[in-house]
Amino acid sequence: MSSVPGRFTGKVALVTGASRGIGFAVAERLVAEGAQVCITARKTEALEAAVETLGGKEHAMLVAGKGDDRTHHSAAVAAAVDVYGRLDVLVNNTGINPAYGPMIEQDLVAARKVFDVNVIGVVGWIKAAYDGWLRANGGAIVNIASIAGTGPAPGLGYYAASKAALIQMTQQFAFELAPNVRVNAVAPAVIKTQFARALYEGREESVAAGYALGRLGVPHDVAGAVAFFASSDADWVTGQTLIIDGGVSLMRGVG
């Protein structure tokens, strides 16, 4: 999907987990279409490099912090509004998956951390953005879920459950925040990022063979869909989750 020049001119977006991977690709796409962006992640140095790549302070700013820290949520929203004067779009990309294996065998501390960041953290971001700007002015929220949240996901149980919760929450918030705030989600399959590397590294060809389109996704495959949901092109779309999977769901039971 090619960028649409000027589609976000005069708009401001906050993208979480945006120092690399999907979050950075989303920020890059929004800037290419005219937006100014506030990006967040834990590490200041990585964010500084991302801001430079995005074109510097005229186009992007950063606020470092933890995804499950409500103080960080409020500070980032306030900073974006203070520097750029508004906040039109929130993209919830921050997510973690520190555990792998059967759910029954996982440490509950790790399970709680997954939900604190992937679910409760998203609620915190939405509340901060809503209280800080969106309640009075309207806007759009896009949540980055996962195809893992649509069914059983071997080895990824708590992560999958957290993304299933996020998909449901997308509908719930879409209902509760209408008509002034639209809330949608995307649910990617395996995207070639550092976060997902363990799912394909050393066997990418064999993994990609299970996809109808013959390849794994890349971050920009997700960014285009996020930009659509965030834009006025989707003004009559809310509560939806778009699966972005290269056709892997078509291949279940084939062969």
User: Tokens representing 84?
Assistant: 């750029």
Catalytic residue among 158, 159, 200, 211: 159
Mean pLDDT score, 143-160:
94
182-236 pLDDT, tens digit each: 999 999 999 998 776 777 777 878 888 899 999 999 999 999 999 999 999 999 9
- Determine what percent of the chain is predicted with pLDDT higher than 90: 85
CA–CA separation, 19 vs 27, rounded Å?
A: 9
Please name the residues in contact with 233: beta carbons below 8 A apart, sequence gap of 6 or more.
4, 7
Its pTM stands at 0.95
Element (H, E) at 237: none
pLDDT at 255 over 60: no
| 159 catalytically annotated | yes
Peptide bond just before 179 cis, omega within 30 deg: yes
What domains can you pick out in the chain, each with its CATH number? 12-246 (3.40.50.720)
75-121 pLDDT, tens digit each: 999 999 999 999 999 999 999 998 889 999 998 999 999 999 999 99
Q: Are 129 and 141 in contact (CB under 8 A)?
A: yes
Instruction: Tell me what pLDDT residue 254 has.
Output: 59
Instruction: Write the DSSP assignment of 109-130 as a string of letters.
Output: HHHHHHHIIIIIHHHHHHHHHI
Task: Classify burial at 103, counting beta carbons within 10 Å of its beta carbon; exposed 0-12, middle 13-18, buried 19 or more.
Answer: middle
Question: Looking at 4-13, 219-228, 244-253, which range is the least confident one?
Answer: 244-253
Q: Are 182 and 174 in contact (CB under 8 A)?
A: yes
